Structure 1
Amino acid sequence: MSWRRALKDTARSGIAVEKKRLEPLIAVRGAAGLAIVIALSLWLFGPAAAASSAFGAFQAAIATFQRSWRPRPELAIASGTSLAVSTFLGYLTISQEPLFLALLVVWAFAAGMSWAAGPTIGLIASSNVAIMLVTVTLPTSVAQAAGHAAMMIVGGLVQAALIVLFPVRRWGAHRDALADALAAEADYARRLRHDPIASFDPQPLMEARNAAAVTPRQARRRPAELHGARGIAERIRPVLASLADPAMGVPAEGPARDRVRELLASAAALLDAAAHAIRHGEPVSAPPAALATFRTPDTGSILTGAPYRAMTRLNTLLQDVVETAGGTPQESAPSGARGTVRSAENDGRSMPGPAPTHPGARGTARPAPTTRSRPTTRSRPTFLALIPKALKAMRSELHRGSPITRHATRVSAVAATGYILGTLLPLGHGYWAPLTSVMVMRPDFSQTYSRAVARLAGTVIGVAVATGAVQAASPGTLLSGTLAVASAALMYLLMRTGQFATQACIAAYVVFLLDMGGEEWTQTVPERVLLTLLGGLLAMLAYAVYPAWETPRLRTRLADWLAAQGPYVAAVFGSYADPSVSNAPDVRGALLTARTARAAWHAAVARATAEPVRHRGLSRTAADDAEDALAQLGRVAMLLEAHLPERGATPVPPAARFADALRESTHKGAKAIRERRVPTWDAVREALDAWETEDTDKVVRNTATLVLDTLTELSEALDTAVPPMTLDGTAPEKPNGPRNPKDSTTR
């Protein structure tokens, strides 16, 4: 992508306004906390202290809007306290310019490194540095600085108290995450009706897993419907794929395929009903037609073998998710089908009838765990316990090649440069330049440039509107404070709609707040616009001069995904090789690692797409084809995972050799990708050729063949000049003649 197109795209995204669900009650609560702090400060200390404390309450409320699964009161207190410390230290050094400049550099570098601990901490730290540049100019003595810092802490405490006293949608974010996961699987079931090999994005499941990690205090108060449904949703996904995939036994057309489509539609309806119930905290209202589909008595005569086993397991899992979401087995759960569904009499603790078997397992299929067992809780550290983890994450990124370190270096250099230029220019209030730079800079190109454009455009609009209001009404202290609170409330309301609207409201808020403190608009507005432009240009120039492009690292990201995907597939085959050992935790851990690597790859591709950098060794077409191959590799393993053998089933020894070869080959293949070589799969092919097939492990053997096919497709994607057949060990002639030996030697 050229620089011209990159700048055009980022500018368009910066000024775009997105349609998001507004949360007016939360906005009113944040504005009420701000109003309380301003009124209290005006009454006790006067306009200057009110302006300073208002920044603390304002920032504390912004922190609670960030995407975090932690208790919101903790975020508000942490934000207000950290801003108070920054302001007090800044005031102690502001009289000595070199000392303050050194503090600014250190503080900005630390704020940049804090992005390693997560976007919420990074945003709070960056905002503290930016706001500190304003608040250090308000006190006139050390005692006043201490008082202003104390009022900032009070602002955070007030916002935290309001969250506790007036909760809005308690556990709302956690409910949404779990409901989104169930809704994503409902959509997956519907797509499988028309495309039996449709892909599935596990991002909603990853978000639900993050939301399931709670602090000890949250664990004691979490609603019951948020305990076990996520685990069931994880097990539903491979069963849906196994039921729909033609490779598992259902023909592409015919009565069996029609029945599968009916079952998938009913499963989607039940999952949507559970998602709606969890999102709104209501009882599940299961559609009667969906329940009736699973009660159809002739299903067993239409579906046989693996599809029937997938249907019965899906039946049980759907009952589990409906019960967990708040339904009852008598009214809401699917039932029927050869006695495999739980009844009210046995309380769901046993399943009548013989356990279904898997042809590749030589034994019984591992039954789905019931949600009636004691649920396990994923533990999230408390806020204080998070500090050592955050420091560890920052230390791990503290090396020359780290994008986070490069971001921290850019932020500290630009903050110092902006402060010096703002001080030297005859504009006054020179802190606007470094303030803008720190606020807009992010570790990646697209966010930095889009936020710079949004901040400039929003500042012009916000300053123009606020200035017109000040000139027309000449508001006093109380009216200016009221207008500042109204601007903040509008910002809280529109925060999720985009940076343009947010920055316009912030600009108006600052103008009204400084007018309340006694500063004339002519002392702030013109220089604010010019210095905001200067700060934005410095931020954009810094990324161009000292970038951290994602495009050159795409090969590394792809190699990381392969290195994580290989152990997951190997773990699945290992479960068949030795069913006497419980391999489920190994499979689960490997799956989570592979998902993390997949998410890192997709995030890298999204960032690289917006960068004005040409690919280096991995074209867009090759990247897309390689992504499809690795996604297919994970999908093949998922189909086999849907029917893991029960402990005590007959082992499949060739699966062990295949798993070992796969684990070693994917490790070497990842190294080859990093070194810009085409990976080879000779060891995997040899293990597959040595596999002596028996009727009982035929499904596992066929799945191993599919694994080799997807690995071959990966190599083809990374070396599109090689004819596909040459990767299988042959050297056919091209249609226009034999392959040129010189080409193969120079490659």
Structure 2
Amino acid sequence: MTWPRAFREVLWSGLKIEETRLEPLLALRTAVGVALVIAAALWLGSPAYAASAALGAFSAGGATFQRTWRPRKVIALGAGVGLALSTLVGYLAAGQLATFLPLLALWTFVAGLAWAVGSTAGIVAATTVGSMLVTITLPTSVGRALEHAGIIALGGVVQAVLILLFPIRRWGAHRDALADALAAVADYARQLRHDPTARFDPEPLMTARDAAAVTPSQARTRPAALHGPRGLAERILPAIAALADPDVGAPAEGPGRDRARELLDGAADVLDAAARSIRRGTPVEVPHKTVDLLRGNEVLEGPARQAAERLAGLLGEALELAECGNAHRRMPAQHGPAGTQFLVRPTLFRLIPVTVRAVRRELRHDSPVFRHAVRLAAVATLGYLIAARLPLGHGYWAPIASVMVMRPDFHRTYARAVARLAGTLVGVVLATGVVRGLGPDAHVFGALAVVSAGLSYTLVRTGYAYSQCFTAAYVVFLLGMGGQAWEQTVPERMVLTLLGGALAILAYAVFPAWETPRLPERLADWLAANGRYAAAVLRNYAEPTRERRADMRSAQLASRKARAAWQEAYDRAKQEPVRPRGLTSREAEEAQEALEGFDRAATLMENRVPQDDNPFALQAKGLAKALETDTAQAAADMLEHRDPDWGRVENALQAWKGADARSPGLRREADLQKRALEDLATAVSRTPLERDVGSVREEQRVREAVEAEGGGSGPAHRGG
């Protein structure tokens, strides 16, 4: 992607609004929290205290809109404490530039490393930097600094109390995650009706599993509807894939294929009904004709009939779980290791060693998180120094603009920078006109600030440019409430915001962390993880024990995690204005398709894994070892630009075919895996010289496509 096209992409991404991501009730409740603290501070204190209180309530409220599975009130309290601490520490060091600059650099560096824990931690940590820069200008003594820190923390407490008193869709995010997983499997069933070899994206199942991890206190209050259906979705997935596959399931044509399509359609309807029930907390509503459709599979034979019967049983379990789960009953709490039936999420205190380990893993030069932390610290310090030298007041706006837009990857950094600059300029101009027209009135400006905060919250998850427009207006109204003349604040904010955004954009260009060069490494990791998963499935046929089934599940999760890492890197690489290195776009697409086919074959195998302790195919153990060894070696070979070799797999397959005639279906699935590996070798097997030539050709192809797109006068012209 070229730089001009990259800028067009990021511009439109900041202007796009998705109605499904709007949460007006949550925005209203959070805005009420801001209103309460502003009103109380104006009544009992001064405009300066009101500004501190408003900052704490606004930032703590904004933190609750981040994607996290912990209770929102905990996030609000944590954000309030972090904001108060940064304010107090910043004020103690703010007397001298020699003490404040090192503190600012260290604090922003640690805030950047917080992304190692997750996006929520990274964003909340960035807001503490903004609090340090703004509120240290308000107190006049250490005692006053303590007061302002307490007021800021109080803003987080108010937001937490409102969440506790007025819950809105409690467990709603968890319900949505589970419902999305069931709906994704339903969509996959419908795809299989028309394309029996369609691929499934496991991301919704991964999200649902992440949402299912709870702390012991959450487990005591979690609704019954959130227990069980996710595991059923995991078991239904290979059943519908096996039923639809023409090689190991229903025949490609004839009555058997028609019956398979009916079952897939009925499965989709049942899963959609269960998803709606879980999402809304209402009884399951499935038409009787759909339930009747799942009965009777005499037209199917062999493995196809087994898959159909297994699918019908699983769908019945799904309906029973959904009906019981939405009967307004709670699951009994589990105690002790033997009784624990939930995925454990560490409490805040136990999260400390987890955080330390996560940060330690990122302390390396090639880590995107580490490079983000370095960029963040350098830009914040440089922006503060430059602004201090300019003949302008309120120099903190430059580093704040940089810190709030910077992210570990190129696309989000540039998208947020462009959106923030555009939204800030528009918001400042509009709010300034209102301030000049109304004249000084603290109560009116406080009310306008609350309205602006509510609109900003409404759009915070989509349409970032519009959200920043209202955020900028919120700040202008707060300054007006404090009595600061617009001539001394608004022009300065515009200039310094432009400076901060420019520094953020320049920092990524000078010290980037591109994903494009990392694609071969991500692909190799995915291949090795897929090999371990396929080997774990095969070992279950030779040694079907509980331990083997646990190993299979662990390997499957690791494979999905590696696939998600590849997909994230590939999506980012497509948005980067960087020449392809190691893999061209076409090679990456072909390699991804091959590995998806390999993973799909392992999923088909998983459907018929023995549920008892009786071995089904002892020869599968040899193929498992060959697969694990060859894929691990091929992963290393790909990184060294050597061609993959599947000799061990080929020999193991030949030995299996000559020694065992009891499992033709399983061998057909193994052949599917072998063909997928051959397709992967075809996609990546090229000499370094050919690869460099391919990269140049890919770059030329993209450039010609961009020029052709720019030469037209719009979609109609290009279509002609």
Which TM-score applies when normalising by structure 2?
A: 0.92
8 Å contact 1:17–1:500 — kept in the other structure? no
CA deviation vs aligned residue, 1:658-697 (integer Å, no higher than 9, x gap): 1111111111111111112221111111111222253312
Partner letter of residue 80 of structure 1?
G
Corresponding letter in the other structure for 1:236: I
Q: Is 1:592 matched with 2:557?
A: yes
Question: 1:321-720, aligned counterparts within 5 Å?
Answer: 321-326=318-323, 376-580=341-545, 582-691=547-656, 692-719=658-685
**Aligned partner of residue 159 in structure 2, secondary structure:** helix
How far residue 702 of structure 1 moved from its aligned partner, in angstroms, is: 2.0
Q: 1:375 to 1:644 in 2, by over 3 A?
A: farther
Give the gaps of 5 or more residues in structure 1.
332-372, 723-747
CA–CA separation in structure 2 for the residues paired with 1:92 and 1:581: 58
Q: Partner of 2:317 in structure 1?
A: 320
Assess if the C-alpha contact under 8 Å between 2:196 and 2:244 holds in 1: yes
The yes-or-no answer on 1:45 pairing with 2:11 is no
Query: Offset at 1:376?
Result: 1.5
Superposition deviation, residue 475 in structure 1 = 4.1
Residue of structure 1 aligned with 2:300, choices 294, 300, 303: 303
| 1:126 Cα deviation after fit | 0.8
**More helix per residue:** 2
Task: Give the counterpart letter for 1:320 in structure 2.
Answer: E
Cα distance in 1 for residues equivalent to 2:626 and 2:423: 57
Which residue does the alignment assign to 2:149?
A: 149
Residues of 2 paired with 1:436 and 1:70: CA distance? 28
User: How do residues 113-262 of structure 1 correspond to structure 2 at under 5 angstroms?
Assistant: 113-262=113-262
Q: Aligned letter for 1:124? A: V
> Contact conserved, 2:223 with 2:325, CA < 8 A, in 1?
no
Map Cα deviations across residues 246-293 of structure 1 (whole Å, 9 max, x no partner).
011422111111111111111111111000000000010112121110
Aligned partners of 1:167, 1:395: CA distance in 2, in Å?
37
User: Deviation at 1:45?
Assistant: 2.2
Once the 2 structures are TM-superposed, how far is the Cα of residue 550 of structure 1 from its aligned partner?
Answer: 0.5
How far residue 216 of structure 1 moved from its aligned partner, in angstroms, is 1.2
Which residue of 2 is the match for residue 741 of structure 1?
none
Q: Indicate the residue corresponding to 1:55 in structure 2.
A: 55
Equivalent residue pairs, number: 677
Does the 8 Å CA contact 1:576/1:651 hold for their aligned counterparts? yes
Q: Secondary structure at the match of 1:496?
A: coil
Distance 2:202 2:278 in 1: 19
Task: Please state how far the C-alpha of 1:226 moved relative to its aligned partner.
Answer: 0.5
**Higher mean Cα deviation, 225-234 or 286-295?**
286-295
Conserved 8 A contact 1:74-1:383: no
2:421/2:497 contact within 8 Å kept:
yes
Distance (whole Å) between structure 2 residues aligned to residue 249 and residue 205 of structure 1? 24
Structure 1 position 135, deviation (Å): 1.1
Moved more, 656-665 or 33-42: 33-42
Contact in 2 for aligned 1:568/1:587 (Cα 8 Å): yes
Letter of the aligned partner of 2:320 in structure 1? E
Structure 1 residue runs of 4+, over 4 Å off? none
Query: Shift of residue 38 of structure 1?
Result: 1.2
Q: Distance in 2 between matches of 1:110 and 1:682?
A: 48
3-state SS in 2 of match to 1:248:
coil
**Overall identity of the aligned pairs, in %:** 54
What is the CA–CA distance in structure 2 between the aligned matches of 1:129 and 1:640, rounded to whole Å? 51
Q: Distance in 1 between matches of 2:395 and 2:613?
A: 74
State the Cα distance separating 1:401 from its structure 2 match. 1.5
The alpha-carbon deviation at position 220 of structure 1 amounts to: 0.4
Q: CA distance change for structure 1 residues 543 and 213 in 2, over 3 Å: closer, same or farther?
A: same
Please say if residues 20 and 497 of structure 1, whose CA atoms lie closer than 8 Å, have aligned partners that are also in contact. Answer: no
Q: 1:618 to 1:223 in 2, by over 3 A?
A: same
- Quick one: distance in 2 between partners of 1:229 and 1:328? 9
Q: 2:405, 2:501 within 8 Å by CA — same for their partners in 1?
A: yes
| Per-residue deviation, 1:387 | 2.2
- What are the Cα deviations for residues 146-196 of structure 1, in whole angstroms up to 9, with x where unaligned? 001001111111100110110001110000000000111111111111111
Q: Which amino acid aligns with 2:681?
A: S
Distance 1:143 1:374 in 2: 51
Residue 430 and residue 41 in structure 1: after superposition, are their counterparts in 2 closer, same or farther (change >3 A)? same
How much is the aligned-residue C-alpha RMSD, in angstroms? Answer: 1.7
